[in-house]
Structure 1
Amino acid sequence: MRAILLWALCGFLALSAQPQTANLGHQSWSTENGLPQSSVHQIFQSFDGYIWLATEGGAARFDGLNFKIFNQETDPTVFTSNDICCFAQNAPDSLWIGTASGLLQYGPQGLRRYTTADGLPSSTIYALAATDDASLLVLTREGLSQLDLRTNRFSLLNLPHPSTLTQGTDGNVWITSPSGLSQYQHGRFIPVPVSPALPPEPIESLAVQPDHTLWLRTHTTLIQQRDGRQHLWTAGRELPGTRIEAFLPDSRNTLWIGTNKGLVALDAANPQSLPQPIPALNASSVLSLFEDRERNLWVGTESTGLHILRRQNFHSLPDLADLAVNTIVQTTDGALYAGTNGDGLYRYQFGKLKHISTHDGLASDIILSLTPGPDGTLWIGTPDGLNHLADSHIKTYTSADGLPDDLIRSLLLGADGSLWIGTRRGLAHLQNGHFTVLTTSNGLRSDLIGALLQSANQDLWIATLDGLSRLHNGAITTYTTADGLSGNIITALLEDVGGALWIGTKGNGLTQHTAKGFTSLQRPDLPQEINSILEDGVGYLWIGSNRGITRVAPSELNVCGSSPQCALHINSYGLADGMPTEETSANGHPAAWQTTNNLLWFATRKGVAIVDPGHLQQNKLPPPVILERVLIDDTPLDLSPSTKIIAPGHNHYAFEFAGLSYSAPSLVRYRYLLEGFDKEWSQPSTRRSATYTNLPPGRYRFHVQAANNDGVWNETGAAIRFYVRPPFYRTLWFVLSALAIIAALAFLFYRLRVRRLRSQFDAVLAERNRMAREIHDTLAQSFVGVSVQLEIVSQLLTHSQLPAANQQLDRTRDYVREGLAEARRSIWDIRAITAQNTLPTRLTQIVEQSRSENLPTQLNIGGTYRPLSSTVESEVLRIAQESLTNAQRHAQATHITLDLRYHSNRLTLTITDDGRGFNPSDTTLPAQGHFGLQGMRERATQINATLTIKSAPETGTTITLDVPIPATKGMPTHG
């Protein structure tokens, strides 16, 4: 008996020491998915997070969804061979690629090639390693060379016949040679003692773990050396196949060994553990192994391309994988029951599965609802009636027994042991063997009953297609969107440990009910079509939907509510996490169950999805964010850090980005903000591009962030600054110039306006002066003449000289007629020059009119007559008239002489009297009412003439008017 127990204990310990490889998700890529070639020789993760693959068809850069190829087809000037062996990196902006025809450097400026012409010992490269002293070690066919990155010069190192070059996870570089094992440190090779000694077979690769465990691989043997002890695994014996191609001790202390007949795993800490084959790789020949920063395992094969193995949070039951499961419950005896959509009922306990169908007495193989009864019994709802399973016996109830309908949509065992049954025609209650039915006539808004839940205070919550009803103390109250529900089609109910009621709807998201009432939590980052809600034992809600399962903390929901600006830490689970399908069941109640050992079971369209909330694989690494391309009207933009200046006239701006998380690339979510345009971050989504159109001129900064599948955000993200230049007509210099031009035009307009007004004012003033002169020289002079004649008439009448008086009256009448004629000419400006009213003629008339016996007046006219403009002649005539009047009234002259003479280019008028004279410079004359001289000067100025007045007291007066005569075509210039 002791021997049996001992063997059982040993077997248990052996099993417990095995690596946990059962729950590994698998995904693969081949040439059909974009891989350039199916032989993957090395897998490498660069500083920025990309996965690089060395193949015989070139180098490939992978972001989790898409490959970018670098080979002879993409860059024939640099790639002379597509056979890639290896990668290395010692700076974020420089990746080294080893090929069969030289060394390539990939950086922001593109690719650069180094060959033997640059000092490389051989163009055939076997391995690369970046050192801690700014250099690169290159293992070639002709030996080990060092490239000094500061001088870009190669130097051959003095290490005879190196066979392997390995860079450890800690950055140390290890080299094997026939002389032993060495470590490169700061330009020196330090021998490392190995005990036991190195095997006689050539070492093809090695690894050193942090605990100084040394792993060595030969063609057929894997050797572990630790603490002076050695353990061997040999191909063909402990390991499958005939040769070992690759190995990797990962961060979980699992040793992965790739052979030419597949991949196996064993516990690296326990050399006695048995290797476990990985069925996903079958018998593929494994060439390379790599663990990324998220602890995913990458496998490169010889003929089946690239593979990834991910630790998954969900697993399923293989026997139910092809079945559509509607409902799940666990009975009091610990058995789990899964009701299917046409395949009957399955009972799972102690790792065994039992099938129950219509052959065993079920009313139908379509199971719509389940609820556990006491003592391991089970109530089963089908479209054809209600079943009760107890001790392998099945009893059926139908409408003939009092049910309102045979289609049973939901079941609930009440706290008092009675059974509530939801149907299409109301809610039935089975108590003490009798059925009672509640319908719309009792207060329900719909007879189509869905999920049922009894709260801690014994209230019964009833989900319907038209709202949520509550049965309290025999009375039914129904709530709808008018009361705060997010939707009226209720699909799932849960009461959490705090007493809050969580309500799932179809198409309208989540609602919470507390003592304060209903709170709609309809958010774009939460499922809208909810099929089930569970609460785990660590304070999270799990929501099943047709797009996977979502995990969220109720405390965060209470804080954020439905505000999109408040970011929730949401975990989304799907195919990459081990779910058989992302579509959970929406046909049965309950569609999810929490077992007694705190596992969560979800019914899906392809079996069940099972998760242990207390032992989740959490991805706490924020994903690196890369801005892959920026397209301006489909033209790529340089992505260097400097601010980009974009010419005006562009309409379409596209930004393409990637969050480099490989645990679940399809679940990486992004949010972005264009500073200078957007007012808030975009709603998180899985879309990997953003587009803007018709951006106005200005300075912008596009900023994108990403979150991994567990909702961990990289808030640093990636960003690019750019400046959209305005068109010339919107630039500052143009606006200032336009304003200056407008101001100048306004000023010019103002000046022209002022000049026009001034011209008008001058014209009005000139006209007023002209009218004053006309009145003075016509009416006033005429009135003076009339007054003189009337005085003579008066004197003649006094002396009774009637004939002479009559003669003077006739002359007075002539003066009046002439004055009126002059007034009319002045008003209407009728100055037509005719032979009868030329200047000599009109001047003669004026002289004759002013001549008297007391003051003889003589007129002399000389030269060849030349017609002048009517304005000039009128002004000359008025000046002569004013001079005669002044001589008659003020000079007391006894003789006046007028001389009018035409010259070749001027006209002169000279008026001389022998009167008492005056002082021409006397400025007080206008103030005394004498405006004659001032008017004469103004008239002379109007016709550009020169007026000269020579006079002195008691010497008489001579007035000379010199008027220029403009030359006229066809007229003589002398006479």
Structure 2
Amino acid sequence: MRFKIFFLYVFLFMAGWSYGQKFKYAYYHGEEVPFKNVNQVIRDFKGYTWLATDQGLFRFDGNTFEDFNTTLRSKTIRTFVSWDENNLLFSNDTGIHRIFYANDQPRIASFKTSTDFHYPTGLFKDSQNRLWTGQMNGSILMFSQEEDLGKLFDSVSRVKTPKMFFGEDTFGTIWVLVPGQGLFYLDDTSQKFALFKNVGRSHHFLVADDVIWLVGDRLEKFTVTRSRNVVNRQIFAVDKEFRHIAVNHKGSMFLNTESAIYTFQNDGNNAKLSKVFGANDPHRVEELSFGTINRLHFTKDENASNEVIWVCSDKGLTLMWSSFFQSVSGLGHDNIRAMNSNPEGPILISQGDVSRIRDQGISKGFEKEDNLNGIVGIGSLNDNIWYGSAEGMIFQYRGRQLARTYDLSARGSGIFFISADHSGNLWFCQAASNQPIVGTAKINPKGDVIEYGKEKGFDNRILVIREGGKNELYAAGIGVSSYLYKYDPLSDRFQNKSLPFPFKVSGNFEVHDMAVDRLGIVWLATTDGLLKYDTETIRKVRLGQYTDNEVRSITAMPDNALWLATDTNGLIHLDGEGNYVIFDEDSGTPSKISSYRCMVLYNDSQLWVGTPEGVVYSSRTNPWPYQTKTPIIKEVRVDNSEIEGQNTIQLKESQKVRITMATLTFPSEDVNYRYKIFESGLPREDIDDVAWSDVPTPELVLEELKGGNYRILVQGQKTGGFRWSAPVVVELDVSQRWYRTWWGVFLLVTIGFFFFWFFVRRWLLKRVGSLQASLYHKQKELAEKEAELVEQSSTLKQKKNELKSTGVNIYLLHRLIKQIPEDSSWKTVLPILSKLVELPTGIDVFELAYKQGEVIRFKGYLRGNHEMIKREEAFNERNNLASYVMVTEKPLLIHDFTKEVGDYVSQQDSIGYVSRIYVPFDQKNGGTAVFCIYSKEKNAFSQQISALLGILVRFLSVNANDELK
């Protein structure tokens, strides 16, 4: 591998930053993994990592190890090299092999064959696309595209050589280090390897452009010319014997002894070494148990700056990576009480006493400030720094010299917040002691203390004052109607800008902190969540389950994003589109609990956050959550059959699909998944409305899907400062069950029609035979019917009389309806209806029945009685006919009450009328009512009378303008 010397020179002038400090780590040791000794790792173009182990070849997706040893005769995998974008090469005792993909599945085949193979060890690809391999007997084989069998070079070592290391300088010279034997180079003239120098106990080397580094019992660096002359030789005094040297993607150099790793920094002729420790818990520093280290390897996601260190050893595999947030080495994990930063000055942190942070490139150191104790507030402007104490004192420093002291103890107790505006005024907030404090105060550039209380517009206590990008000064504090004020410089007063809340807030509402962004929008960190104020509206920002959580600190970033510190749920990053990411101990913070108003930006780009258990800073400037890599679909199974090579998954409604996902980030045991499924062709705006569903494992199981075409979106999110990935899209084509298809329906209808025809024909034949048998009986009955005709003729006469009576009733009904005024009340209508029992209609009694509460009430008239009759019964559709008709809403004609009543209700009533008609109708402004008429004679009413009565009640339901009461 070739490295630009530029990165090395840059490194030599900067610290090893966090690499010499603490790393999060994951072990893959012992019985949990199918191997022990790991010789090397390499990453393929898909993002998988391959492991060369003593137990064979394994592919690692960050969560599981897949065994690829079924076709290998030797399981001792020694080394890897990347040949091109589609092929990886590895060596074992039988030769050199390649790994490639076919139909998206990994395949293994022989790369080169040679009769000169003798246990190949190291592999190296040079700038001319030649492959070099060292062998156990000390010889070297070179393969080019023109020479399939390889070119054998004489042994550079006369003894068994388990390891050889290759390199190439900027002039194209091939270098070989044989540990214990010497450093060799390929002589272009003789085409033989020549001894460059005896390097003593050198175990490994690194070639970067024209610089060669040698490590062993000493650390040596020298520069070579084209003619291989040595210049600028430098030997670093070290007290350890190093086994390997490696450089990461940032140019930082790593050295390892047999079982420990160090970062290296050039400090004259001395090697400044920093040992690497583990810190999965931000409160602890741990010795890492690597075993005997075989190789160091570095990987970096293309869309994230977080780098992973792979430590290959005889105990297995160890992964190390830096947290999103780092702590200052040596600074105590105590409660942070105040923080301050400005472009001209350092970062100042108070844990009671004050620490000044030293910036050493990206690493951080600190020193204590003398004579400063009990500090709870810090403010700064240019080279002036003000410290507020818990006793109500403000100490003004110019540089590092005390310039002035303000004694405000008579006003209150601790000065917990200090902020300077663009005019040089220093605003401060002070805690109350034995009397309440309304408003705030300032120290003007002359040093005068000026009060801003009720006479200056305040109604309550103020907790924070900040100035925005438009030089607008806001103050915020306590109370639902006094939480926000804006300073008016013309009147030298604060104006109450508190808007009524369109949502419910707690009774002890207060604003802990605020930020004014470049657009002038005020973001409020409150007891009831994050609020957004834009001069005209106040609204609560939606943060899912954290919407109502208390927010203690807030910072607006230059990119319009926000960082929030909650009371007990860690930090939240909120981008301009409303997407948020949670940061907690997995991200490197020592606690999910945050301190009040302890969040600052250093140089407008690096975030510092204070907690009750110490301070942390973002490991990169302009901190933004890392992007989780898009998941891949590793395996698809329909029922128990694996599906390969399909762009669209085909299945039936009765089948179950099992989709196994992987996110090629390392490690990936902490990746959470979610998905949404919808019909293909759904408009984009509707897709956004489809809810996400969590997947508890990297396996998504779907069953009982209805027929149709579907699209599934799957996202992953890694913990520790990562946002949701871009979704992977899965297409599903679910075929309907056969009986739901058009041909299935047609087949079922055809079969059904056949069975229907068959059984109907049999029934008809049987029925015809039965009819013929009964024909004789019918003919006999005809004679008897003729005898009845005479009797029926008399009945016809009676019917004629009934028709005449019906005509009379129609005439009477017409007269009655004409007498009823339009849009009249029941009070008017009822007396008119009394004529039904006065005229010759055959009706003895009529009533109107209606429900009131749990009873049914009756109003009506009795023939021969001019007074209205009223009565009531318990409403029960099983005991009285009026309730029955009201429930069924169907008219009822009774010819003989005694015989027919049992068909409808379970008991007789006592009103004593044999013939009856009940007709239900809807009141215009009420519920259902029933029109009831009665006669003492049997068969007194016909269907014609019932029909006429139906006409009457329909007229009444439309005409009556009130409800029966």
| Alignment-mate amino acid for residue 513 of structure 2 | A
Return the alpha-carbon distance in structure 1 between the equivalents of residues 571 and 227 of structure 2.
50
**Is 1:86 matched up with 2:83?**
no
| Alignment-mate amino acid for residue 279 of structure 1 | K
2:483 match: 469
Q: Indicate which of 626, 631, 634 corresponds to 2:632.
A: 626
**Is 1:742 matched up with 2:752?**
yes
How many residues are aligned here?
705
Return the alpha-carbon distance in structure 2 between the equivalents of residues 547 and 192 of structure 1.
69
1:581 match: 590
Q: Whose helix fraction is larger, Structure 1's or Structure 2's?
A: 1
**Is 1:30 matched up with 2:50?**
no
1:354 match: 368
SS of 2:483's equivalent?
Answer: strand
Q: Indicate which of 658, 664, 669 corresponds to 2:662.
A: 658
Task: Name structure 2 gaps, 5 residues minimum.
Answer: 1-7, 157-163, 278-286, 360-364, 443-447, 487-492, 786-965
1:159 match: 152
Return the alpha-carbon distance in structure 2 between the equivalents of residues 731 and 665 of structure 1.
43
Return the alpha-carbon distance in structure 2 between the equivalents of residues 168 and 767 of structure 1.
120
Given that residues 238 and 270 in structure 2 are in contact (C-alpha distance below 8 angstroms), is that contact kept between their aligned partners in structure 1? no
Q: Indicate which of 526, 532, 535 corresponds to 1:515.
A: 535
State how 1:593-612 maps to structure 2 within 5 Å: 593-595=600-602, 599-611=606-618
1:290 match: 297
Return the alpha-carbon distance in structure 2 between the equivalents of residues 168 and 757 of structure 1.
104
- Shift in CA distance, 198/371, structure 1 to aligned 2, threshold 3 Å: closer
Return the alpha-carbon distance in structure 1 between the equivalents of residues 18 and 29 of structure 2.
27
2:273 match: 277
- Shift in CA distance, 486/623, structure 1 to aligned 2, threshold 3 Å: farther
- Shift in CA distance, 132/248, structure 1 to aligned 2, threshold 3 Å: closer
SS of 2:45's equivalent?
Answer: coil
| Alignment-mate amino acid for residue 337 of structure 2 | N
Q: Report which of the two structures shows the higher radius of gyration computed on alpha carbons.
A: 1
2:884 match: none
Return the alpha-carbon distance in structure 2 between the equivalents of residues 35 and 235 of structure 1.
43
TM-score (normalizing by structure 2): 0.57
Return the alpha-carbon distance in structure 2 between the equivalents of residues 712 and 193 of structure 1.
54
The Cα shift of 1:602 comes to 1.9
| Alignment-mate amino acid for residue 563 of structure 2 | W
The Cα shift of 1:673 comes to 3.9
**Is 1:326 matched up with 2:330?**
no
Return the alpha-carbon distance in structure 1 between the equivalents of residues 388 and 216 of structure 2.
62
| Alignment-mate amino acid for residue 696 of structure 1 | L
2:517 match: 496
State how 1:330-409 maps to structure 2 within 5 Å: 330=341, 334=345, 336-340=347-351, 343-346=352-355, 353-354=367-368, 365=374, 369-371=377-379, 376=384, 378=386, 380=388, 382=390, 386-390=392-396, 401=410, 403=412
Q: Deviations over 1:834-875 (max 9, x none)?
A: xxxxxxxxxxxxxxxxxxxxxxxxxxxxxxxxxxxxxxxxxx
State how 1:626-705 maps to structure 2 within 5 Å: 626-629=632-635, 637-638=642-643, 640-641=645-646, 644=649, 655-662=659-666, 672-674=675-677, 676=679, 679-680=687-688, 689=698, 691-698=700-707, 699-705=709-715
1:42 match: 40
| Alignment-mate amino acid for residue 581 of structure 1 | P
- Shift in CA distance, 155/346, structure 1 to aligned 2, threshold 3 Å: closer
The Cα shift of 1:280 comes to 0.4
2:891 match: none
Return the alpha-carbon distance in structure 2 between the equivalents of residues 94 and 374 of structure 1.
58
| Alignment-mate amino acid for residue 421 of structure 1 | Q
The Cα shift of 1:28 comes to 3.4
1:965 match: none
| Alignment-mate amino acid for residue 623 of structure 1 | K
The Cα shift of 1:321 comes to 3.7
2:121 match: 126
Given that residues 28 and 305 in structure 1 are in contact (C-alpha distance below 8 angstroms), is that contact kept between their aligned partners in structure 2? no
The Cα shift of 1:740 comes to 2.0
- Shift in CA distance, 511/347, structure 1 to aligned 2, threshold 3 Å: same
The Cα shift of 1:550 comes to 5.0
- Shift in CA distance, 276/598, structure 1 to aligned 2, threshold 3 Å: same
Given that residues 321 and 580 in structure 1 are in contact (C-alpha distance below 8 angstroms), is that contact kept between their aligned partners in structure 2? no
Return the alpha-carbon distance in structure 2 between the equivalents of residues 195 and 102 of structure 1.
22
Given that residues 427 and 465 in structure 2 are in contact (C-alpha distance below 8 angstroms), is that contact kept between their aligned partners in structure 1? no
The Cα shift of 1:540 comes to 4.4
SS of 1:84's equivalent?
Answer: coil
The Cα shift of 1:609 comes to 2.4
RMSD value over aligned CA atoms?
A: 6.2
Given that residues 123 and 133 in structure 2 are in contact (C-alpha distance below 8 angstroms), is that contact kept between their aligned partners in structure 1? yes
Return the alpha-carbon distance in structure 1 between the equivalents of residues 696 and 526 of structure 2.
26
Given that residues 486 and 511 in structure 1 are in contact (C-alpha distance below 8 angstroms), is that contact kept between their aligned partners in structure 2? no
SS of 1:741's equivalent?
Answer: helix
SS of 2:47's equivalent?
Answer: coil
Q: Deviations over 1:668-692 (max 9, x none)?
A: 7765444549955765989763645
- Shift in CA distance, 102/721, structure 1 to aligned 2, threshold 3 Å: farther
SS of 2:337's equivalent?
Answer: strand
1:21 match: 16
Q: Indicate which of 520, 539, 543 corresponds to 2:564.
A: 543
2:430 match: 421
Return the alpha-carbon distance in structure 1 between the equivalents of residues 466 and 480 of structure 2.
17
Structure 1 stretch displaced more, 276-285 or 315-324: 276-285
Return the alpha-carbon distance in structure 1 between the equivalents of residues 41 and 232 of structure 2.
24
| Alignment-mate amino acid for residue 30 of structure 1 | Y
- Shift in CA distance, 121/452, structure 1 to aligned 2, threshold 3 Å: same
Return the alpha-carbon distance in structure 1 between the equivalents of residues 431 and 223 of structure 2.
64
2:852 match: none
The Cα shift of 1:328 comes to 0.8
- Shift in CA distance, 231/762, structure 1 to aligned 2, threshold 3 Å: farther
Return the alpha-carbon distance in structure 2 between the equivalents of residues 218 and 42 of structure 1.
20
Return the alpha-carbon distance in structure 1 between the equivalents of residues 14 and 355 of structure 2.
31
Given that residues 669 and 687 in structure 1 are in contact (C-alpha distance below 8 angstroms), is that contact kept between their aligned partners in structure 2? yes
| Alignment-mate amino acid for residue 23 of structure 1 | S
Return the alpha-carbon distance in structure 2 between the equivalents of residues 429 and 394 of structure 1.
19
Given that residues 125 and 141 in structure 1 are in contact (C-alpha distance below 8 angstroms), is that contact kept between their aligned partners in structure 2? yes
SS of 2:276's equivalent?
Answer: helix
The Cα shift of 1:501 comes to 0.6
- Shift in CA distance, 236/131, structure 1 to aligned 2, threshold 3 Å: closer
The Cα shift of 1:88 comes to 4.7
Return the alpha-carbon distance in structure 1 between the equivalents of residues 118 and 739 of structure 2.
58
